[in-house]
Structures are given as C-alpha cells and as structure tokens.
C-alpha cells in the first residue's frame, strides 16, 4: 500500500481547480452571494503562521459556503504602501516600488501552495496607480462634499530625519531612527471629518450583532461620548478680546469647589499672552517640548504658569480663580480650558498642593464623610454623597443625579448649556513620506489650494530612480526634493504651481479596498451594479490589533462613499460579521553566554530540549512569533515537510479560533498522522470487494449523520477546533466499522466532504478515488437526517440528590413514566435509597433522571 504523500497530490489538485476556473467570482443573481474577506497582508516578503491561520479560517468559510450553494467572493490583495519599503530603500538602496512588487511576487508564490479558494483575477496592490488613482478620485469627491479639510495640527517632528513621526516611532522622546530629541511642531495638514460622524458611528455599533462585543466596546470607548456643561467664565485682567473663557466640564456639580483654572499652551489666550510676555512664550515652548505619545505624557511633570489673570465663578462671585497655563491641558479636547476642583480630582489635588492653591470640598461621603486632607475624594460610580456646597438638587444624591441637577440649574440660570462631546478627533491623513498615495491637490500662488482635475488622475509617484532624481539615502521626503515632480500648472488658472508633496496615511488605502474588490478594474472607484450585488462583506476575519483604527476608518469611509455616491446606503456598515482570530505562538529556546546573556535558537535547531551539540536549552513559555526571539516557524518548511493540508489542519485544530494557538512539533506531527490515517482508510475501502456485506451499517450511518450535524454546527459557529474533534471521533468509528462496502464508501466520501473545507487537497484525492462526481469543492454539502441523530436506545444517568449513582439503557422514545419506573427498579438506586421512598423524580427526556430522596 502506498503512503500519504502530500507533495504528490497537492499541486495536482490546485491545477485542477485552476483548470476548472473554480474560484473566479461572477455576478449571478440566481444564487445568494457570500463575500468572505480576510484582512489583506502587508507585503513584507514572507508569509508567517499568522497568515496561514487567518487565510485558512477564511478558506474554510469560503469553501463551506460554495458547497452550500452560495456564489462566493473571496479575493486577496496587498496593503502595499508604507514605511518599511522606504526604510528598506534607505537601508539597502533600491527603490520602494521594486522592493514592494518583488515582495508581493514572493508572498503570492508562498501563499499559492496553501490551496486557498481565492479569486486571483481580482488581485491588486494599493500601490498600483490603478488603485491609488481611484483613491485620489475619492479624495476629490470627499473634498467637494466637505468631508476633508485642512487645518494646523501638532505633530511629532524629527529634526534630523526632517520628518513627522507616528507616536509609536517616538521612543523615550527620541526619534526611533535618528535618535534625535523629538519636537512638537505645528503643520498644516489634511483631515477627514470623522468627528462629525462620531454620534452615528457610536450608535450604529448597536446594530452590529455579529461583531465581537469586545471590539464594539473598544470602538465605543475610542469614540468616547461624554455629557457635560459648556459655559463661560468672566475674566479679570485679561487682554482685550478675552472677556470670558469657554469651559467644558463633565462634573458641573463640582463647580462650587473650583479654585483655579488652567488653559492649554495652545489656547488662543495663551498665544496672545505669549506674544507679549517672553517668559510666557518660553513656558509655552516648554509645554510643547517632548513627544505627544503616551509614554512621554505619563512621565512629564505637571507644570503650570500663573498668568495673573483671574476668573469669576458665576455662582460664587467672591471666589477668584487664578488662571494657569498648564502642560496637561489639551487644546484638542473640550475647549482647551478647564477649571480645577482639587477636592474631588486627584490631578487637580496634586496641582493645588504644588502651587499652594485652596482646596474646597463640595461633598463628603454620605456616612461620616470628612473633608479632603491627603488625597482627593472621588466617589465610586453610583455612590451617594452628601453635598455641603450644592449647586442644585437634594443634599444627598449620586454624582449622576447631581450632574443632571447642575446642568438644569445652569441652563435655567442662563449659564451655559448641557452638551454632548466626543473624544474622537478628526483623522489626520497627511504624511511627509514618499511611498504613499499622493494627495491630489495643487498649491497656486494666486488660487491657493486647488483640487487636481479628475482627468489628470492618477497623480503618479515619480519612479525615476535611475537619474538620481529620487534619493532615499538622505532624510526627509524625497517628493519634496524631486527636481520636477512638483511642477504643474494650476488646474484653475493654468499658471505654474506646485503639487502637494504629502501623501496619504496608509490607513486610507485599507479603508475602502473591500469595496474595490467588487469591481477591481472599474474606471471609477466602484461601480453601482457590482457594489450593490457583492456588498457587504458577509464575513470579515483578521487580527484584534485592528479593532479600533482600521475598522473605525473603514466604517467612516463606507459612509463617506455612500454620501459621495460610491456605495449604496445599505453598505454603510461594510462588515456584517467580524471575527478576530488569535495569534500563532511558539516556545522560545534559549541558552546563555559566559556573561549570562540570552542566546536564542531556532525551533528547527532544537531536538528534545537539546542543541545538536547536546547543550541543554532553556524553554521559555509560548510567545508571539518574532524574528528577534527566533521562535518563528516558517510555514514553507512545514508545507514542504508535511504538506499544506497538515499546516491548515493544525492551525485550526488545537485552540478556539479567537484564542492564541501554540505551534508544537508534536501537534503538527499528530495532524499529519491523522491525515495519513484518513488517506489509508480511503485506500483500504477502495480495495474492498464492492459486494462485501457488513454487520453494522445502521450504526455507521448514525455516526455519519451525527458527524454531519456536529461539523456543520462547528463551522457555522466558528468552532473549528470542536468540528475537528468530531472529525477525529467519526474517523475512529469508521476505522473500526465492519459495515458493508457501500456503507463504508458513503462514510469515507462524507468524511472527505466534511473535511474538505479544511484539507481540500487530500479530500479531492479521496473523492476522486472513491469515484465521486466532479470536484469535491463543487459537491453539495451533506445534509444530516434529523431522524438519525438520536440513537434507538440511549444511556441515561440516574442521580440521587444530584449525585450520579447509576445508569440505565432505555429506548429513546420511552415515556417519562416508564423511564421513572425503570430507574426506581434499578438495583443501585434501591441500594442508595436504602428503603426510603423518593420525594420527587425528575426525568429530563433523553438526558437524565434525578431522584430527590
């Protein structure tokens, strides 16, 4: 008997699918459509196990849906713009374009052996001019619709590399590449007006029933709705034009405890003062120093500068609040000005201690509350407190009620109004980078900022590396330095003008690619018919790391595309169902050098916990695969050793899909063994005499229908690991079966069908050997016969007071009364009852008997 040799069969079946044009998606109104999409990869050059897991899950869904009669769209593309390509060009020379496209070729050829049911005819990369040209068209439409605008914004600026840094690129306040002290700089940048949609993006989360609750919560927190009071404080001693300052607070009930105010260094008042007083200007510069990232913020000391200006509390005219400029007040949130209530806010408390400001209690704990001494008193959510300086409402109430009373009181008194605010800020899309989609506008000396004409799109990046026009070896944006690229006539007046050299954030590229897949070659961003037919994505699958930005931006884009007529209204929530899969992890193998420093070793260099030279290896528990820890398992090695089906089977088998799965050599081995067993089983059944009569056909048939039912449920509910467990069990039953050849042949063919979404190559092979019609990928999914899902006789456990004491075999359709009789006649039951008569007997049909003694 020959052995299971994946290398001999897998390529053959991939060619068979190609030859039959199996996965090319075409509109067909007669069939229900199903659009399954995995988050497209960045072309780093190598696929990793995470990709294998992600795409295998999508493939299981896609293949399952094909077999249930759906017209499936399952495309793949490349999220191809971004910094790594530019960095590679800087580090090793060459052009980002060449680097990217050659990586795409490599990755495509690594992906194809996985046997994914992808419609490769729709493939595109976001760096294709055909794609980003359409993105520029979208930008222009958004601009016209008022969804994009320009404003000044503070960015992290690396003075050496002369570039803007993302927050993650700022390490200890220094640029990650140059090591230079990062500055905050104000630049004019483009923004998407996502904040206008904050309310809707939040409210619509409710309708996303098939999204993980976790992701919805994260988005809701990110959008960050708050309710509060916006009002004005009159100033004393402020320059002209600043007779009052606008404030926003979510805790208006603490207004009577206000003892100081603080404004942002970027507040108009601060700027006005800085213009006149050099010490204030110096302080404001100090505030702007350092990066805007979380880490830097955390460490920064809270400092303030007393401006000498005071505010008058509208409800307490004798209390003058000194106005500070403070480094912890953000211009971007609220109104850029706050009042401090040190008694009930720890940060305000510390600030007050530092600058010797008054602390005025507004409320105390309801029972034996004492005034604030060593730290601010911040009640818990819903805790009732006793107001000693109430603004409005009863003496004892919760903070929530107090806020309502305070807002109502203030509105009645003509002091401000209750407002809703969102934390969500507009999305800045300008990047001072080369390898991105050029922003299609022109700066004209007379006309100002002018949109490019659509007929001039795409505005292509200059690729002319050969003549040294593009130089990546020196810092800064190469587009800025290009001798001719910027020059263009003004689209409005025709006079010589300059192109914008900023490019778009790569998140823009991935915010609409799902829509482009519905008509990847269209001359417009989308086309009506295809978008209406294919949208929405029925199942989207990807990593949790994109829970906020990518998914929120996509939701914004779908709405913006609807407003500009590029998507139907029904598609403004682009992803009907979302699944976030876990990572593939692996142990880390380490030894130590003479000085005790760790040395990491590749998994393939370690056998039984030892290196080839016998050195014992320390094993560190599973962690995300990373190059630096050398715990990366290369999918290509696994495929060449065991075949793609084994890799696919393994990544689905051991853990629930949403959780991390640990790659283990023994697990991969076990997956291979199982597939070999199924293959041999099929060979054995093929070799049987077709007239062989069996003894237990009915039992095998029942087991088969249970397997159909359980595996179907498993796939439908993303319980791939559970589905695989059932497949193991059914395989064991079939292996031991003494049924007729006919029954066994039906069973192995059904097993192949149930396994085929996971291990398609092997299953095609079995199908062909058993004489199945056509390709298994097109065979209709087997249907479970409900009548066969319940055995004729069942085992029922009997509990006495909830403890299992016996079990009985009864006919499945026996009445409750008869079951009770049999149960009470059981020897073990009689023994346990010891002569007492039961108070009550509960019979759960088909399940259990509980005797209450």
Count of all residues that appear for the chain in the document: 853
Cα separation, 721 vs 57, in Å, equals 11
Which residue lies nearer to RNA by CB, 692 or 729? 729
CA–centroid distance for 506 within its chain: 16
CB of 143 to RNA, least distance (A): 27
Which residue lies nearer to RNA by CB, 688 or 722? 722
Which residue lies nearer to RNA by CB, 11 or 358? 358
Cα separation, 178 vs 160, in Å, equals 6
Which residue lies nearer to RNA by CB, 597 or 803? 803
CB of 658 to RNA, least distance (A): 9
CB of 495 to RNA, least distance (A): 42
Q: Where are the beta strands (DSSP E) in 109-182?
A: 148-158, 163-165, 170-171, 174-175
Which residue lies nearer to RNA by CB, 64 or 260? 260
* Rg of the chain in Å (alpha carbons): 34
Angle of helix 665-687 relative to helix 635-642, nearest 10 degrees, comes to: 30
CB of 332 to RNA, least distance (A): 7
CB of 482 to RNA, least distance (A): 35
CB of 630 to RNA, least distance (A): 20
DSSP of 498-553: EE---EE-HHHHTTSHHHHTTSTT-SSSS-HHHHHHH-SBSEEEEEGGGTTHHHHH
Which residue lies nearer to RNA by CB, 85 or 849? 849
To which residue do tokens 């309801």 refer?
Answer: 366
CB of 537 to RNA, least distance (A): 23
Please check whether residue 757 is in contact with residue 715, taking contact to mean a CB–CB distance below 8 angstroms: yes
Share in percent of the chain as helix, strand, coil (round to 5):
40, 20, 40
CA–centroid distance for 269 within its chain: 40
Please check whether residue 607 is in contact with residue 578, taking contact to mean a CB–CB distance below 8 angstroms: no
Which residue lies nearer to RNA by CB, 509 or 710? 710
Cα separation, 167 vs 189, in Å, equals 17
CB of 720 to RNA, least distance (A): 10
Which residue lies nearer to RNA by CB, 383 or 523? 383
Which residue lies nearer to RNA by CB, 142 or 672? 672
SS3 16: helix
The structure tokens listed for 255 are: 């207004």
CB of 521 to RNA, least distance (A): 36
Please check whether residue 257 is in contact with residue 362, taking contact to mean a CB–CB distance below 8 angstroms: yes
Number of Cβ atoms within 10 Å of the Cβ of 472:
21
Burial 473-495 (b: 16+ CB within 10 A, else e): eebebbbeebeebbebebbeeee
CB of 269 to RNA, least distance (A): 14
Angle of helix 644-653 relative to helix 6-19, nearest 10 degrees, comes to: 90
CB of 329 to RNA, least distance (A): 4
Which residue lies nearer to RNA by CB, 20 or 365? 365
Which residue lies nearer to RNA by CB, 341 or 577? 341
Cα separation, 344 vs 676, in Å, equals 68
CB of 797 to RNA, least distance (A): 3
Backbone angles phi, psi at 25, to 5 degrees: -90, 130
Q: Which ranges of 319-426 does DSSP label H, i.e. alpha helix?
A: 346-355, 399-412
CB of 812 to RNA, least distance (A): 12
Which residue lies nearer to RNA by CB, 464 or 662? 662
Q: Which of 340, 331, 343 is nearest to 306 (CA)?
A: 340
Strand order in the sheet with 148-158: 163-165, 148-158, 183-192, 427-428
Which residue lies nearer to RNA by CB, 297 or 812? 297
Q: Which of 333, 341, 349 is nearest to 226 (CA)?
A: 333
Report how far apart, in Å, the C-alpha atoms of 507 and of each of 192, 220, 503, 510 are.
Answer: 12, 20, 12, 5
CB of 375 to RNA, least distance (A): 12
CB of 515 to RNA, least distance (A): 25
Q: Which of 38, 30, 36 is nearest to 69 (CA)?
A: 30
CB of 789 to RNA, least distance (A): 13
Which residue lies nearer to RNA by CB, 107 or 739? 739
Burial 295-324 (b: 16+ CB within 10 A, else e): ebeeeeeebbbebebbbbbbbbeebbbbbb
Which residues are paired to 311 by β-bridges? 235, 321
CB of 851 to RNA, least distance (A): 8
Which residue lies nearer to RNA by CB, 670 or 824? 670
Which residue lies nearer to RNA by CB, 226 or 244? 226
End-to-end CA distance of the chain: 61
Which residue lies nearer to RNA by CB, 375 or 605? 375
């Amino acid at each position: 008997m020959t052995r299971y040799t994946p290398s001999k069969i897998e390529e053959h079946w991939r060619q068979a699918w190609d030859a039959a044009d199996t996965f090319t998606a075409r509109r067909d109104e007669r069939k229900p459509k199903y659009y399954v999409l995995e988050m497209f990869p960045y072309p780093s050059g190598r696929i990793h196990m995470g990709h294998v897991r992600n795409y295998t899950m999508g493939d299981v869904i896609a293949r399952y849906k094909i077999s249930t009669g759906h017209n499936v769209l399952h495309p793949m593309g490349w999220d191809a713009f971004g910094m790594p390509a530019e960095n590679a060009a800087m580090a090793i020379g060459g052009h980002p374009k060449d680097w990217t496209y050659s990586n795409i070729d490599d990755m495509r050829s690594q992906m194809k052996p996985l046997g994914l049911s992808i419609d490769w005819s729709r493939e595109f990369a976001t760096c294709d001019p055909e794609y980003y040209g359409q993105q520029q068209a979208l930008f222009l439409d958004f601009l016209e619709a008022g969804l994009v605008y320009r404003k000044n914004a503070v960015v992290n600026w690396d003075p050496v590399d002369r570039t803007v840094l993302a927050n993650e690129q700022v390490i200890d306040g220094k640029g990650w590449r140059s090591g230079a002290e990062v500055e905050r700089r104000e630049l004019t940048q483009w923004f998407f007006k996502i904040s206008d949609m904050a309310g809707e993006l939040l409210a619509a989360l409710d309708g996303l029933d098939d999204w993980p609750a976790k992701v919805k919560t994260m988005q809701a927190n990110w959008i960050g709705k708050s309710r509060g009071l916006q009002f004005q404080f009159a100033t004393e001693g402020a320059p002209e034009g600043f007779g009052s300052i606008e404030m926003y607070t979510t805790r208006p009930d603490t207004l009577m405890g206000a003892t100081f105010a603080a404004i942002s260094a970027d507040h108009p008042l601060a700027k006005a003062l800085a213009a006149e007083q050099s010490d204030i200007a110096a302080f404001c510069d100090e505030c702007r120093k350092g990066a805007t990232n979380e880490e830097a913020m955390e460490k920064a000391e809270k400092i303030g500068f007393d401006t000498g200006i005071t505010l008058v509390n509208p409800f307490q005219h004798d209390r003058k609040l000194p106005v500070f400029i403070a480094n912890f007040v953000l211009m971007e949130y609220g109104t850029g000005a706050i009042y401090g209530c040190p008694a009930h806010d720890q940060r305000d408390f510390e600030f007050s201690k530092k600058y010797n400001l008054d602390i005025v209690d507004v409320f105390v704990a309801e029972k034996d509350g004492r005034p604030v001494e060593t730290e601010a008193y911040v009640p818990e959510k819903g805790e009732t407190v006793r107001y000693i300086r109430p603004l409005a409402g009863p003496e004892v109430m919760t903070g929530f009620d107090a806020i309502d009373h305070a807002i109502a009181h203030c509105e009645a008194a003509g002091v401000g109004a209750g407002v809703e605010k969102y934390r969500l800020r507009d999305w800045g899309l300008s990047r001072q980078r080369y390898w991105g989609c050029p922003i299609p506008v022109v700066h004209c000396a007379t006309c100002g900022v002018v949109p490019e004409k659509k007929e001039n799109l795409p505005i292509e990046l200059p690729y002319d590396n050969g003549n040294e026009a593009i130089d990546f070896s020196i810092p800064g944006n190469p587009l800025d330095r290009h001798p001719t690229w910027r020059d263009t006539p003004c689209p409005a007046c025709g006079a010589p003008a300059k192109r914008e050299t900023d490019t778009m954030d790569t998140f823009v590229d991935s915010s609409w690619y799902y829509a482009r897949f519905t008509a990847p070659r269209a001359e417009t961003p989308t086309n009506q018919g295809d978008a209406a037919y294919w949208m929405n994505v029925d199942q989207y699958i990807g990593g949790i790391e994109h829970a906020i930005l990518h998914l929120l931006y996509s939701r914004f884009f779908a709405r913006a595309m609807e407003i500009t007529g590029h998507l139907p209204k029904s598609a403004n929530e682009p992803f009907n169902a979302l699944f976030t899969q876990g990572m593939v992890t692996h142990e880390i193998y380490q030894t130590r050098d003479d000085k005790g420093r760790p040395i990491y070793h590749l998994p393939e260099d370690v056998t039984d916990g030892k290196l080839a030279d016998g050195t014992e290896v320390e094993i560190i528990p599973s962690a995300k695969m990373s190059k630096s820890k050398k715990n990366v398992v290369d999918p290509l090695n696994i495929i060449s050793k065991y075949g793609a089906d084994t890799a696919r089977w393994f990544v689905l088998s051991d853990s629930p899909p949403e959780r991390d799965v640990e790659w283990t050599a023994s697990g991969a081995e076990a997956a291979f063994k199982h597939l070999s067993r199924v293959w041999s089983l099929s060979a054995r059944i093929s070799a049987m005499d077709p007239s062989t009569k069996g003894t237990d056909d009915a039992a095998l048939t029942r087991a088969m229908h249970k397997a159909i039912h359980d595996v179907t449920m498993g796939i439908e509910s993303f319980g791939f690991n559970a589905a695989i467990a059932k497949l193991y069990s059914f395989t064991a039953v079939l292996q031991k079966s003494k049924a007729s050849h006919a029954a066994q042949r039906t069973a192995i063919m059904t097993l192949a069908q149930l396994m085929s979404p996971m291990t398609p190559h092997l299953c095609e092979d079995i199908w062909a050997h058993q004489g199945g019609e056509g390709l298994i990928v097109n065979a209709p999914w087997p249907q479970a016969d409900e009548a066969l899902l319940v055995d004729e006789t069942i085992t029922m456990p009997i509990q006495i007071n909830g403890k299992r004491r016996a079990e009985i075999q009864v006919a499945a359709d026996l009445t409750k009364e008869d079951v009770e009789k049999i149960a009470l006649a059981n020897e073990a039951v009689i023994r346990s009852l010891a002569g007492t008569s039961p108070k009550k007997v509960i019979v759960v049909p088909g399940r259990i008997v509980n005797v209450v003694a």
